[in-house]
Amino acid sequence: MQRRPIHLLFCLSDCCAWLLVGVGVIGAFDFALVPPEILFRNSPPSAIVNPACYCTSLLLGAKGAFMLSERKPLGLLLLQAIGLLYAWQGQYAIAALWLGSTLLLFGLPLLLVWQEVRRQAAALVE
């Protein structure tokens, strides 16, 4: 049985998920209230994206993180969409870092639980 490590991984995953929910919601409100000229004053002009697109991606990430805190695997796909948005903008290193870290942090506990459930189901069949 791997219940103790799985439980610890889910605790870490939940803490990070709630942190992402907070950052996503606060960031979305920040983009709605602060003009883009102030937000992007230190970044190159090519890094300025449509504020509505960026705000939507923050809310999408917040929704995905909230779904993961409720143990819904679809939330992982919503978080992966943010990495695909970075790749679409040409920021491949950030996209790879985001995709890898979210898979490791949120996907690993889900995968371990899925394996444990399959193992227990196979033991019941035998």
Tens digits of per-residue pLDDT, 19-52?
A: 989 988 888 888 778 776 776 676 655 555 666 7
Q: Which residue has the higher pLDDT, 42 or 105?
A: 105
pLDDT, one tens digit per residue, over 47-102 is 556 667 777 888 888 999 999 989 899 999 999 998 888 888 888 999 999 999 99
The pTM for the full model equals 0.78
Instruction: Report the half-sphere exposure of 61 (CA within 13 A, side-chain side).
Output: 28
Identify the CA nearest to 2 among candidates 125, 118, 122: 118
Number of domains in the chain: 1
Residues 6+ apart with CB under 8 A from 3: 116
Sequence-separated contacts (24+) of 71-75 with Cβ below 8 Å:
71/110, 73/110, 75/17, 75/106
Range of the domain at 71: 3-125
In sequence order, which residues have a C-beta less than 8 Å from that of residue 110 and are 6 or more positions away? 71, 73, 76
Q: Report the pLDDT value the prediction gives residue 91, as an integer from 0 to 100.
A: 85
- DSSP H stretches of helix in the chain: 3-33, 36-39, 51-69, 74-88, 92-102, 108-125
Tell me the two tokens of residue 26. Answer: 């606060």
Look at 119 and 45; give whichever has higher pLDDT.
119
Q: Are 90 and 76 within 8 A, CB to CB? A: no
